[in-house]
Structure 1
């Protein structure tokens, strides 16, 4: 069964290694996986907070709208590689093990962060600057794409049948942790450094921190036990993972639809609101970042609650009511911000919208994880999440900005969320309740 730690008995070397070192307790296991995931996601999140500063430095478009669109596109293009990373590293995790996969993604993230730190601006090296920046974002996306599936599978497989929701909830918690850490760093730099200093080199400090934390993350994860019995290289991996499309296509489609609602909500509430407040409401970036911080704090606090609740009343109920709440609240939220464009209004909106976002995230993640068999779980979760995220999550800021420009309606991002939410309810209708089912 996938909820047992089978790897220590998989081979003599692994068994001897397990006996040589004392295994971690379950609270320490959760901490190790969660902190590692949070530190890895940090670099991607902190880029978002400085997107309005990075745009003019690397994308020399004289039109302000063009700069914003290119900057948000650079943020979104990093997500293009996430399904690829999810497929490649997810297959590696399903073949060799979860532990080597999550360590590999950490080192790839370190390389991408180093590129962000060292790449000169367009004024210094010309067209090579946006090319290197784009390459860094692509590598970053590949690494993060390979993180979600193995880490989520590892948490799920450490749990028993009565606590899978609670254990899996620590993956969304790690996303909130990353965003809180990134927001605190961004706020500190924006408020301590003069704007000219922040513009020239101050923002790079945030990515230096991302490079420095990688050895810590590797050390933390090195003590984890493997949760998967590795396959032999002679096995037909291609045939096995092709079954995601041939035998499990309905589950895969349902998970993509479910992830559309999740990805769009997270990116609008946590990532887009600070930029929306700075661009549309003319609130200084040093203040608007607080909106992202509040949304991330709510995600951290409520993720374990959502996971625990899904273990009590079911995954589908938690997903259903949280999605309905988001559909009801999103338009009045944007209407309130535009009618009262103050920092306090933005912060209240961020806190309110973060509640359904936080409640739907863990329940969705455990639901899609449980409908897939163990040998396909890391790959399936990664690919479905990032296929949805590439189109509907990462480019949500781009599409929202473009919709506002095309329609002249400052509330256009609300309609974007409503559309994505309705798609996700279709995915929910395609899956059965998984609470109480034994994992295959």
Structure 2
């Protein structure tokens, strides 16, 4: 089965591109937008509309495979690829990639994915967002050509067992960190709330007091709203390096504060993502490692999660080898082709690192559904509910795709 025609269509993603550097520097919110000048190259505003490019592959049998090229909300930050703008990349893909795809066989996914992921045009690899969307479309093309689920394609090509069980889901609240938590509790989410603690004065507090108060509220809110006494979600909060800012990147002070957060969380498992942003991969590994060792000395069960500067498969291997954190976020658009996501999760699972298959609110329904199939094959510890920041929409897309696929996998394994 071959690709007969290839199309690239500009569209919107489910959230916005935000200039993280400008926000950390104090850009103030004005309604939904931010005031101030952008500080990251490529941005024309601190917050601007998110974009995607849909990849449509027409196959010989008339089927159409779809993938969405999408980039993370904080593009251009912490070593990530720059802003992904459709008006730039649609003509680029039409000129350089379309001729390479038309006429190509789609019977083997990983072979095609590796080809796209390593492809260089004028001496440079494709933008990670482009590789991400192209690989999604190629995965669906193989599934359509061979009459299998996308999960089944991955299981077969990687030699993995069928495990017809859902992956724990992690909800993200965005700035609506109170009402969204109520929604998450009502729907029994496994992990909550993300929290978006990306600002010191308004969200963390200059001595961290606002986050302590928020965690205490989370615990009390779960107790008040849950209908099942056994419901105990894991608490996972992303702080975007702000804790490092208020404690001058002093590992002992950061660890002492994190241990105090566990006291506020009580008996709930607590994960803190991105406690510091050290400005480079090497320094990030060093600082996270120092914090982890300090937590061990304190006997604290708080677990730290790597995000910034841990972008690619190769980065994930380095962070894992350094034993500098308890969990890594595998931020799916930053890894390029989705086969790298599978490789990253499997590497973590083999080497004792907790794998969180994440991504961004700035994805689409298409990329989110593709990621469900990746997760069901590779089996990370948790998966992000996406796209968007409304929670309910992403929960509908990810939860329902997962449970539909699990039912089919169970039926087919039994057969």
TM-score of the superposition, structure 1-length normalised?
A: 0.26
**Bigger helix fraction:** 1
Tell me: higher relative CO, structure 1 or 2? Use CA pairs within 8 A at least 6 residues apart: 1
